[in-house]
Structure 1
Amino acid sequence: MEEPEHEADPARPTVAAGRSRVAGDLTRESWRRPWYAHLASYVASVLLIVPAIWLCDWLLPGFHVAEPLMPFVFAATMALLGVLTQPVLVGAAVRLGWIGVLLLAFTGQGLIVLVTAAVLPDVSLEDPLTALLVAIVVGLVSTVLGWFGSAGTSQVLLSRLMASQRRRPPTLTDADTDGVVFVQLDGVPFPVLQMAITAGTVPTLSRWVRSGSHTLHEWTPKLPATTPASQMGILHGVIDGIPAFRWYDRAGDRILVANRPRDAAVIEEMLSTGRGLLVDDGVSISNLFTGDAPTAVLTMSRRVRGGETARRAVAEFVLHPAGLTRALSRSVSELARDRFQTRRAIRRDVQPRCTRSWETALLRSVTNGALRDLNTILVAQHMLGGTRSIYVDYVDYDEIAHHAGILRAESLEALESVDAVLSQLELVAAASPRRYHFVVLSDHGQAQGTPFADRYGEELATLVARLSSTTVASSDDDVEGWGRTRALVDELSGTGVTGRGMTSAGAAMDKRDPNRPAGVGDGDTAAVGEETFHVFGSGNLGLVYVRGEKERLDRRALDQRFPHLVDGLAAHPGIGFVVVHDDDGPVALGAAGWHRIDDGHVEGEDPLLPFGPDAAAFVRRVAHRPEAPDIYVNSLVDPGTEEVAAFEDLVGCHGGLGGWQDRACVVVPTGLPFPAERIVGADALHVALRTMLRHCGHRQSVDEPPAPEAYRPAATRAPGPPVP
């Protein structure tokens, strides 16, 4: 039976209505087919398995199938058993927890091979290990041949979810309320996305913008331009309290790292108002914070978990022969590509360049391989279940651009891959029980340049130690991808009888944590040691704290204790400005002048001038915060290239001022309200996004102030920047 179409409502215009209708027709044609179409699909799957059976017969001495017809019979029987046992395996996987999903993905297919070999004559199978190898080969070959057969599309990723939704359609009491899917393109600068849309290399976004269904806008994150500050602002409406990606908490004498799960939970508990963006039946997927969502999966603060719905979605994917092998093969492919691209950059002497190790390659293989598919599965599952609002973070571009550069080919390819995900989700939306709008945004931009240590021969921490003649504890490793991997492990350990093994893996990762100070016990974030300073690098923003002080030291106290430190930092050629507190409040010091922040008085050359018209206001806000360091340090910005010098070993970075790191983007459906003027601050963007939700009928019971008059539907005003 055909599902009823949504009635057109002039008061609530659809997102790309004509294109969605076409997408819906394609979806129904693909997933609501007559019996003979399903038979054809079954025959196709059998034909994909047959070459794998031939290969196993040739490769594995413990496996033999008589020729010429038995390989076809074996493939047909194995495919049929897979269909029949799928519900049982999925149910078992869900009850065993996440690790049960992964185990049954292999053992379940191995059992199917064992049963098939037992019931058929002229088939010899030596042992269960051989059966497992046969299952793995079948999955790999099916994946490769299926990829070529479908011209590289990703329908296999979502087909089983579609079928499951048809068997168990949800019943919604508010089906006439539109849903909203917020897709975060982590770290994508506005100019990069604008160029990609103009070039057509992101065809889905390009189609949306060119057709007029969406408009492209630039918004400006405030200092610091980091994911934790921006996501706290976007999801919770609060940007104060997070001075960088990691910092020293004076009151607790501890180090807080935003993507360490325990610390993320502490940060959210301190700052959440309880009225986050997703509080009204929303779900947070792969974020740092929950947005007060009732359900959160792969979320660092992990106050709530994804539960059975998420585990079932993943189980139905990975228990298909081509599912897990697709994720694994893509992860291996990302690993190989990173190693090749690293060697090619060295051979060509591409500059700027940073160290790209096996560890960074492994992290890329997780974030851009398996994690991308996992995120898409979870979003699709919640869309098919009718979840009102979804916020998901795809870190693909950000992870690669950190180590390759913001305009390098591999970074832009990652952006194209996430655009392909939008196309998949567009099809899912057409088969979902409610109508969905897609809002695509980045949390910040990125700047580029040779790392500070490579450019000047010493790290920021070494420079501070030299100028102050003291010892320094530093933390400037890139840990964003590491945190994502840890969140995945924590999610696996959260449920099921097999969670203890993943908990042990998490403890092992704690010991490997780049931010864990020497001598700290497992899970402990307290600062230790006798070092005088804590120095943190957050992109090209540096934070210098004097250990053991309960309040920020002013310049007078710093000069008395470390007479050469402040002036030495300000005069360094790689530093654009430093911020300390003077008798009259915060002051930005440069090599040839200074800028008193509160009244704008400047002596000599204004050190903030190269950083744009918002620099003074941004510095004023963070300098007066109690969590601010004793000294803020911002690297130089090259006026010709807009390049900066990261205090981490990164080519692409964000955190401070300079370059494109404060140039973020948002792509908005024209039928939803959005302000005409440029949004400044993630807290202001939060107001715009929650206004969209209220426009769609969400948050009616949430007590919050009304949105400003400027927040009106984009369709009533001129569109954003033109696209040729």
Structure 2
Amino acid sequence: MLNIVRRNLGRLFKLSIFLFLEVLLFFIINNYFSLITITDFKTTFMIIVFLSILNAILWPTISYISLRFIVFTLGFGTFLIDGLLLWLMSSYLGGFQISGWSLFLVPLIIGLINSLLSILLSVDMDESYYQRILRNQLNNDKISKKDGYLFIEIDGLAKDVLTDAIDNGHMPHLKRLLESTHKLLSWQTDLSSQTSASQAGILHGNNENIVAFRWVEKENDNRIISSNSLADAGKIEKRISNKKGLLSDHGASRSNLFSGDAEDYLLTYSKLKNFYSKSWYYLYSTPYFIARLLLLFAFDMLMEVTSRIRQLITNKKPRMHRGLKYFIARAGANVVMREASTYSLIGDIYSGKYNVIYSTYMGYDEIAHHSGIRDFDSFYALKQIDKQFKHILYAIDHSNRKYNIVILSDHGQSQGPTFKQKYDKTLDDLVQENIPETMKIHSILHSNDDHLLETIKLKSYMKYNKQRITKKIDNTKDNIAGRIDNTKDSIANRLDNSVENITERVDSSRQQLSNIKIKARNKLPIDEFKNKKVLIKGNEPIMDKLNKINDEYSLDVDLNNDEVITKNEAQSIVLASGNLGLIYFTDWGGRMTYEQIEDAFPNLITTLANHPGIGFVLVKSALYGSIVLSDDNVYYLDDNKLVGEDFLKVYGKNIIKQLKRTDKFKHVPDILVNSTYDVENDEVYAFEELIGSHGGAGGSQQQPFILCPRDWSDPGEIFGAQKVYKFFKENINRK
């Protein structure tokens, strides 16, 4: 009893200090800027007190009625509503006048003061007035008694970094879970260790054909599909969804890339076209949510300034240039999305409406990309995420419905200097050096792709590609006659080594090899060379070797080209997904074979495979099937045969499975490359300008974690995001 009295007296004292400081600060600011005409300090006190009382009484109802207006003004409508309340007060109270811009600015300043004092005086958000009101509104006896499930993803956090954060005291609330009710598991991603592949697998149980974060669809006019494009994210979900996603049983999606077939979604990329939801009420049930966001946003930008200064003074390596736009990107991911996720989850828990809820915290991933996976700033982001667990666990304890909480990551990150920092050139520079100078390359090697919409970034390429396609259609008839006339000349000049004549060679490898197999009376010569694995060795172009086989064995097979691709027409697209690179040649309708690439660009594959910063190259041979190259070493995927040193073992025991699965995807690039993984220094070299990266193979980027209840079944090895989906579904259905 005595403790309760002391606690209540302490709250009353803190409230008195809070109110006095709020009035004093507003009085000083108003006198300095002359926002409204106030006669004295007493009037200022009355304004603050009466506005607080009106908000306490009316705000829950006002915000619910005007929710659509608040949402579509991005929350800033809350200040206009409070401005209207102040205008009404001025008519009855007297002593002050308010009009014009002050109707917006005065509530904004009062909100900022209120939020600042709440942070400085450590006002407990869980026991704040508006949280109590929300809890009483939503918590009732009609809530389902069936267990609910709450999945919280920490984007980009590898298991080993999580362990370091717990051991170093950065995540005490998560540590308590681990010590009391939960167990820590690891799982391995698919080859594409990035959000769209992982969330598609986890939320929908299907990530087929998601070869990387973005890819080219040749059959769709060489369209670049980007996972976080506003248009493409929805299309991808339609392809992968069978309406049986993880959230299909009355579920809710919060701040995710895909919806998991949820019935309600908030800030979910694939559903952003349907922006409005009544669940926004959970955020705007307090009048000062946006004011709090603005303060935290500004503080996070200040943290970024100090981070840059600290890294400069300590000469931290590797580090990267971070422009002005990154201030917005960082604070958006680390503050806005974090706070929105937490407030919406608390509302979901109190309402008890949804059986399964999935939400993503993306602040760590964003900061680790640019500062490093174990930088001070990255651990700071994890501290802030851990504080959210405190509020969420409090809500679970005070809800009328039991929610089982599962915390996981979709992938990790691996650190290292970028490919450009390490070798003073980008992947597209390397490609350009080994193709004709006049051949245009379109590349996307920029960062922030997990968290920022990409539609604007692709507009220039889409416009160019449309013009190019239109031009090609208009010129088709004229080009056909010219191509037929050029065929004989191209054949006669096959042995000319100039770049100009090479690019005028005929494209035919797939048909050539098909003809060899169909027309040859004796297939033994071909089988002999396939078994010896000799055609890939040496410097002689593989097409010349095939011609010699044809002549030597009198196979009577036409090895001439059926289409001429001139150097002015051929184009290339180079994409990056962390340390995974994708190279497409868009004037070939399907996936080019190794033989075709060697014929058109004789030095390209050899240069890539021999480069010290590239760990392996995957291409499709018409003769040998899929092959993986590194220096003079070759792994024949179809035959499971290695010639040379085992260059793939550093990428883990499942790398062959990962490569075979990816190789079957519909939109695999003509050339897929993965950077070197330096085991000794635990470094990869991202083709994007990111020092913490993910998207390919090598290091901890493929080692995320799952923190689940101890009574969940033992899954054994979890390999691939689709297995995570099955593991979650099995344990949900088991209960």
| TM-aligned CA distance change 1:108 to 1:337, over 3 Å | same
Report the Cα distance in structure 1 between the residues aligned to 2:315 and 2:469, rounded to whole angstroms.
42
The amino acid of 2:185's aligned partner reads H
Task: State how far apart, in whole Å, the 2-side matches of 1:437 and 1:524 are.
Answer: 54
Contact 2:414 2:699 in 1 (8 A): yes
Q: Tell me which amino acid in the other structure corresponds to 2:610.
A: A
Task: State which structure, 1 or 2, has the greater radius of gyration over its C-alpha atoms.
Answer: 2
Q: TM-score with structure 1 length normalisation?
A: 0.82
Quick one: which of 252, 255, 258 aligns to 2:220? 252
1:165 aligns with 2:138: no
TM-score (norm 2): 0.81
Aligned position for 1:77: 50
The partner residue of 1:544 within 583, 590, 601 is 583
SS at match of 2:705: strand
Q: After alignment, is 362-371 or 298-307 more displaced?
A: 298-307
The one-character-per-residue Cα deviations of 1:705-724 (angstroms, maximum 9, x if unpaired) are xxxxxxxxxxxxxxxxxxxx
Deviation digits for residues 656-680 of structure 1 (CA, Å, limit 9, x no counterpart): 11111111111011123342x2311
**Hey, what's the Cα distance between the residues in 2 that align with 1:615 and 1:72?**
68
Offset at 1:410? 0.3
Name 2:202's counterpart in structure 1: 234
1:370-406 C-alpha deviation (Å, 9 max, x unpaired): 2211111111111111111100011010000000110
Whether contact under 8 Å (2:26, 2:113) holds in the other structure is no
Report which stretch shifted further, 252-261 or 522-531. Answer: 522-531
1:38, CA displacement in angstroms? 9.9
SS at match of 2:400: coil
Number of residue pairs aligned between Structure 1 and Structure 2? 630
Could you list the runs of 5+ residues in structure 1 that have no partner in the other structure?
1-28, 487-508, 697-724
In the other structure, the counterpart of 1:571 is 610
Is 2:572 the partner of 1:629? no
1:76/1:40 Cα in 2 relative to 1: closer, same or farther (>3 Å)? farther
Give the gaps of 5 or more residues in structure 2: 473-568
Answering whether residue 446 of structure 2 is matched by residue 477 of structure 1, we say yes
Give the 5 Å matches for 1:47-66: 47-66=20-39
Q: CA deviation at 1:89?
A: 2.8
Quote the offset at 1:550 in angstroms.
3.1
CA offset at residue 564 of structure 1?
Answer: 0.8
Amino acid at match of 1:613: K
- Asked whether 1:314 is paired with 2:283, we answer yes
2:231 is matched with which residue?
A: 262
Q: Which segment is superposed worse, 159-168 or 652-661?
A: 159-168
Using the TM superposition, name which of 419-428 and 545-554 deviates more. 545-554
Relative to structure 1, the CA distance from residue 477 to residue 57 in structure 2 (aligned partners, 3 Å threshold; closer, same or farther) is closer
Counterpart in 1 of 2:642?
Answer: 602
Taking structure 1 as reference, are residues 526 and 203 closer, same or farther at Cα in structure 2, changes over 3 Å only? farther
1:223 maps onto 2:191 in alignment? yes
Pairing 1:2-13 to 2, within 5 Å after superposition: none
Residue 533 of structure 1 aligns with which residue? 572
What is the alpha-carbon distance in structure 1 between the residues aligned to residue 311 and residue 582 of structure 2?
31
Counterpart Cα distance in 2 of 1:524 and 1:344:
48
Alignment check: 8 A CA contact 2:134 2:347 kept:
no
d(CA) in 2 for partners of 1:46, 1:38: 12
- Kept in 1: contact 2:408–2:707 (CA 8 A): yes
Query: 1:296 is paired with a residue of what secondary structure?
Result: strand
2:109 is the counterpart of 1:142? no
Residue 299 in structure 1 maps to residue 268 in structure 2: yes
Give the distance between the partners of 2:670 and 2:64, measured in 1 at CA. 55
8 Å Cα contact 2:27-2:41 kept in structure 1: no
1:664 counterpart = 2:633 = no
C-alpha contact (below 8 Å) 1:62/1:124 kept by paired residues: no
Taking a change above 3 Å as real, the CA distance of residues 481 and 664 of structure 1, as seen in their structure-2 partners, is closer
* CA distance in 1 between partners of 2:652 and 2:602 (Å): 31
User: Shift of residue 609 of structure 1?
Assistant: 2.4
Identity of counterpart residues, as a percentage?
Answer: 28
What is the rounded CA distance, in whole Å, between the counterparts of 1:523 and 1:277 in structure 2?
38
> Conserved in 2, the CA contact under 8 Å of 1:552 and 1:626?
no
Alignment-derived partner of residue 360 in structure 1: 326
Query: Are residue 653 (structure 1) and residue 693 (structure 2) matched?
Result: yes
State the match for 1:197 in structure 2: 166
Please, which of 322, 326, 335 is the counterpart of residue 292 of structure 2?
A: 326
CA–CA distance in structure 1, aligned partners of residues 41 and 197 of structure 2? 64
Q: Cα RMSD between the aligned structures?
A: 2.8
Contact 1:290/1:303 (8 A) holds in 2: no
Residue 420 (structure 2) aligns with: 453
Secondary structure of 2:459's partner?
coil
Letter of the 1:73 partner, please give it. M
1:84-119: CA deviation from partner (whole Å, max 9, x where unpaired)? 331453134314261246232111222233333333
Q: Determine the C-alpha separation between the residues in 2 that align with 1:100 and 1:625.
A: 42
Match of residue 124 from structure 1: 96
Structure 2 CA distance, aligned partners of 1:459 and 1:531? Answer: 21
SS in 1 for 2:695: coil
Residue 531 of structure 1: CA displacement? 5.6
What do the CA deviations read for 1:390-431 (whole angstroms, capped 9, x no partner)?
000110100000001100010111111111111110011122
Matched residues in 2 for 1:524 and 1:365: separation?
Answer: 38
CA 1:93/1:693 → structure 2, altered by over 3 Å: closer, same or farther? same
Deviates more, 1:137-146 or 1:574-583: 137-146
CA distance in 2, matches of 1:527, 1:337: 49
Aligned equivalents of 1:471 and 1:606: distance in 2?
A: 35
Q: Which residue number in structure 2 is paired with residue 286 of structure 1? A: 255
* Correspondent of 2:105 among 117, 130, 133: 133
Asked if 1:415 corresponds to 2:382, the answer is: yes
1:432 and 2:405 matched? no
Letter in 2 for 1:324: I
2:609 is aligned with what amino acid?
A
**Contact kept in structure 1, 2:86 and 2:98, CA below 8 Å:** no
Which consecutive aligned stretches of 4+ in structure 1 deviate over 6 angstroms post-superposition?
A: 36-42, 521-529
Q: Does 1:463 align with 2:463?
A: no
- The farther-off stretch of 624-633 and 405-414 is 624-633
Cα 1:248–1:598 change in 2 (3 A) is same
Q: Which residue of 2 aligns with 1:495?
A: none
Query: Tell me, what secondary structure is at the counterpart of 2:581?
Result: strand
* 1:394 alignment partner in structure 2: 361
What is the CA distance between 1:521 and its match in structure 2?
A: 9.1
